[in-house]
Structure 1
């Protein structure tokens, strides 16, 4: 059993175990001789039977028996009785092996293979399963096989659902039965079987059913996991939705040259500094989708007259599906008058093709527009760029006072969440269901101090806030949820990292829930508070963040300070395509692999990762001796013929593949274990545009 410590064997038991092992070695040696020499005689097959009855986990022996069966079936000249006899003997052997170990993967798979031949009766299988499920009602191997048998018998899913109910009523702790119930309900709802047409009719009864288990024995986790599945079914919208974009709907985007003059009247939230004649258009969905292309997304503007737009998924695993997609819009060639305004209209959902990973199509036609203008300003010569170092000291930032021309980069995003009539109909029962569940678990927690109850209440409160309208009232329960996660960190130190991550996500949702909340963390970067041409910095430092989120509200950010947190990774940061200055100093990033998202931040010019733990932990470099040197995607585009592997690249393989495509002019890495003179020389080589390294100007 799980969690039980092993005890040393008694001398007589140890001797018996050694004798059994010796017998097994002899059998196995004889069996392998027969297998390698393709011997399928009666004696050879009987020997494999003895071996499997002793050790049902020997998968090679099951494969040998498949070959032996195929050999015998070839010799039987398709005689039905002979074929049935051969396969019935295999069923007998499998049953004998299962009595030895009814959790043997190989035995269950072999039984499926036999029945798939179509010469054996399946009528006896449910009776056999009843025997094994009485021995262990939670045996997931048997439940998995039951699904195979039920499908083969064309047994209705309604009957199987009733069977799971009987098994659960017999034992609330039957996790496998709860799991099977979730699979059956998912299929019934997806196929809209009579009586299972809508979640509104089905899920309330399921909540009542699982309450019996949870309130009877709050310490048993099986019912809690099923409740979590029900919560997901209640709040999740199957079809993908567009939740944010940059530029935002209705915005007036002003594109500037390399340096804006003092006195520039544009808002820093709608201003983008160009260093080329392109700028990004970003779409952010509520789930990963594929099929985003010029056929499914129409962009009507003078800015893309040359050719079809190429959309790129921003994914860390080279997947064709991603939550965030980006394309580049081009300014027209030639001199553009500063007064010229380019309207841009983006349409999606008018033709099918955008589809989620779970197979649901984007089905809500939507159109939004924004305007783009180019402001001609005096720019410094190219050779002068990068000579001014970015300073992250507090005195370099000044409180930002909002001006009348400032428009919220998030207020219009909520327009993208407009629901169709069917979704509006669903909304009321979903919200009412969540509110009812909150009341139930408040009552439970008033009676007992239950860790998983606190976790469930936190999830329910966040689900309720996410469904609340209007947006101004969103996340009204965030303080209570944060306190719940603080309690859980104290009560359950074993899972403290998970609770810290969830606490961080809730805190970021709170910070980004309103324009006023975001403004309180926006600071003007300049040497003079009156210089409105300088960048706007969003400061999320000193918040004890261990995980990042809410990126859909931060697509506008060009300068971001995440210093003095507890970040181990920056997963999801690739969505911030405008980001040019990033401060990650004083976190606990352990390797360059944790920085993988910055590879897709092509506007990034200043990066500070000083005082982290890069190089402080040993790394298994043997896994990098291939075309994909990092854990998943980094380096998969590496061309053996074009990349010269010198000693520096071999020594700093991770750093090379993270940094090689960036155009950094400023890089701070002091305070990491990896830093020495050799590594600094490597950085200068791999970042040819670098002007500043650890605060020192390069010559």
Structure 2
């Protein structure tokens, strides 16, 4: 048991225990052997119930034996009178209760109890509800019992208002009862539904719930149950499925589409491309391939141009404008986006317009601004009393990001730094979280038409939201703490990339960047030619800089790299001979 000092056993005690185990094993094998023989011979009788009962009373986790008892009950149900069968079922319920007292978290026992009640003519659901109350008194966190209680409530048609009151009482007895908070979150939308939001709760009820949960975490700020419920009360907005960005390139003969949620083109959703209002055929793929069939980034290429649009017409300097339109359709969405290219333009793009500061707020909360402001004020009060409480800091950050991430940028950064000191075991998580905050703030004010991204010297540990950077042509990520380039496969328009002074040991993730021409990887952790092999898949890469990497200790590094990347023209300033 936890907290008890382990007492060493003597050799004699160990031998005694070994003999006891052997004896029990022989008895178990003999009993189960007889049970399986009777099952094989289809002898489903009272003796089989007795034999399985003797074994299950010692170990109720033997699911096969519960299945054998089920088979026996179904057989008896066909041949015995209803009154006799009712008595057998009641006896079984008492037997199950004794098993649960020995092992209250036995899956098989709880499932078998459901089976027995479903096969009774007149089950006593009221008694079952009392049984749930009893076992939840023993252990209020027994999720097996909570699951069973939900089934009993559903079958017995207990008013959900009474169940909501039950959770109130359990929470008042113990604020740390996470199961009660969770159950409450399922009941509130049913008892007090929000007419404007099917999954929501009436505003006046939410205000009372906020007050109740504040009492909980002001009483014990270190208990996570109330904080999780508070996060549920704030809710999460659901972003509509739409096309976020559309890019079209005539020389590359491809269209790139990013969506607000991951989709599978050809299955859950269909995507059509129209050129001058005429549908054209093409194949769709995502850069992740089979490893992740659902994606927010889809590329269509190898168009079958109709006779109306010969290739030379599209590349000509005529005075005709060109328009690409993409239509996304699915079971619950329909979205279109168009790109207009003037005469002589070879590429064009369109991005979804969003209000500054609102790009990520939907991911954080569905609550009104007044509610968020009020909660922020309350949590600030708690923070003044408990400045080193991680739950307080995390909630403050969440509220600030939902309200105005740019306004609270400095405070968010400071709180994230504090979390790394307060909770050092999750230091790397907080570093990634800080990277996310920094990138989101950058993107809130970013002009996508510039197509230049400068995220250098920001101590980033990973690159979040790469799907929003698809149009980027030039990117500077130097002077960070990046250990991987995997997320960069989204940057399908990228031509120049600076990854100097990071901790990258492999170029995995860069092989799909068909437009990449100039790559700098100075002062990273590239050790061998194999770490650069994926760059051989970049058809446009001509300039590479790898100075300051361990691989440069090899005197033959130039010949090795030039032979690995055959299209490369310049390495560390040296031109291929």
Coarse TM-score class (shorter-chain normalised): 0.7 to 0.9
Q: Alignment partner of 1:173: what SS? A: coil
Residue of structure 1 in register with 2:254 after alignment: 279
C-alpha spacing 1:101/1:485, structure 2 compared with 1 (3 Å)? same
1:511-660 alignment to 2 at 5 Å? 511-515=442-446, 538-551=453-466, 553-570=468-485, 572-589=487-504, 595-596=508-509, 598=510, 600-604=512-516, 612=524
Residue of structure 1 in register with 2:402 after alignment: 463
1:416-495 alignment to 2 at 5 Å? 430-449=368-387, 450-465=389-404, 475-495=406-426
Residue of structure 1 in register with 2:213 after alignment: 210
Q: Deviations over 1:254-311 (max 9, x none)?
A: x6xxxxxxxxxxxxxxxxxx7x4413332230x3345688986565433x84634544
Q: Does 1:413 align with 2:349?
A: no
- Cα deviation, residue 611, structure 1: 5.6
Most deviating of 478-487 and 202-211: 202-211
Residue of structure 1 in register with 2:340 after alignment: 370
Q: Does 1:327 align with 2:300?
A: yes
Residue of structure 2 in register with 1:268 after alignment: none
8 Å contact from structure 2 (residues 273, 280) kept in 1: no
Q: Deviations over 1:359-382 (max 9, x none)?
A: xx347x6655533554589xxxxx
Q: Deviations over 1:604-642 (max 9, x none)?
A: 4555566655789xxxxxxxxxxxxxxxxxxxxxxxxxx
C-alpha spacing 1:282/1:165, structure 2 compared with 1 (3 Å)? same
C-alpha spacing 1:579/1:188, structure 2 compared with 1 (3 Å)? farther
Q: Deviations over 1:118-146 (max 9, x none)?
A: 65725132111111100011222211222
User: What TM-score comes out, normalization by structure 1 length?
Assistant: 0.66
Residue of structure 2 in register with 1:107 after alignment: 109
Residue of structure 2 in register with 1:7 after alignment: 6
Q: Does 1:163 align with 2:170?
A: no
C-alpha spacing 1:105/1:299, structure 2 compared with 1 (3 Å)? same
Q: Alignment partner of 1:138: what SS? A: coil
Q: Distance in 1 between matches of 2:321 and 2:572?
A: 41
Q: Alignment partner of 1:102: what SS? A: coil
Which of 435, 452, 467 lines up with 1:504 in the alignment?
435
Which consecutive unaligned segments of at least 5 residues does structure 2 have?
none
Residue of structure 2 in register with 1:66 after alignment: 67
- Cα deviation, residue 177, structure 1: 1.1
Q: Distance in 1 between matches of 2:559 and 2:20?
A: 62
Question: RMSD of the alignment, in Å?
Answer: 4.7
Q: Distance in 2 between matches of 1:36 and 1:659?
A: 62
- Cα deviation, residue 221, structure 1: 1.3
Q: Deviations over 1:666-697 (max 9, x none)?
A: 56678368998999999889866555677766
Q: Distance in 2 between matches of 1:606 and 1:31?
A: 74
Q: Distance in 1 between matches of 2:178 and 2:16?
A: 36
Q: Distance in 2 between matches of 1:118 and 1:549?
A: 56
Residue of structure 2 in register with 1:127 after alignment: 130
User: What TM-score comes out, normalization by structure 2 length?
Assistant: 0.79
Q: Distance in 1 between matches of 2:256 and 2:146?
A: 48
Q: Does 1:665 align with 2:524?
A: no
8 Å contact from structure 2 (residues 569, 575) kept in 1: yes
8 Å contact from structure 2 (residues 323, 341) kept in 1: yes
Q: Distance in 1 between matches of 2:288 and 2:172?
A: 44
C-alpha spacing 1:362/1:216, structure 2 compared with 1 (3 Å)? farther
Q: Alignment partner of 2:475: what SS? A: strand
Structure with greater contact order relative to length (CA < 8 Å, sep ≥ 6): 1
Q: Distance in 1 between matches of 2:409 and 2:349?
A: 22
- Cα deviation, residue 541, structure 1: 2.7
Q: Distance in 2 between matches of 1:565 and 1:416?
A: 26
Q: Distance in 2 between matches of 1:585 and 1:163?
A: 59
Which of 58, 73, 84 lines up with 1:54 in the alignment?
58
Q: Distance in 2 between matches of 1:687 and 1:189?
A: 64
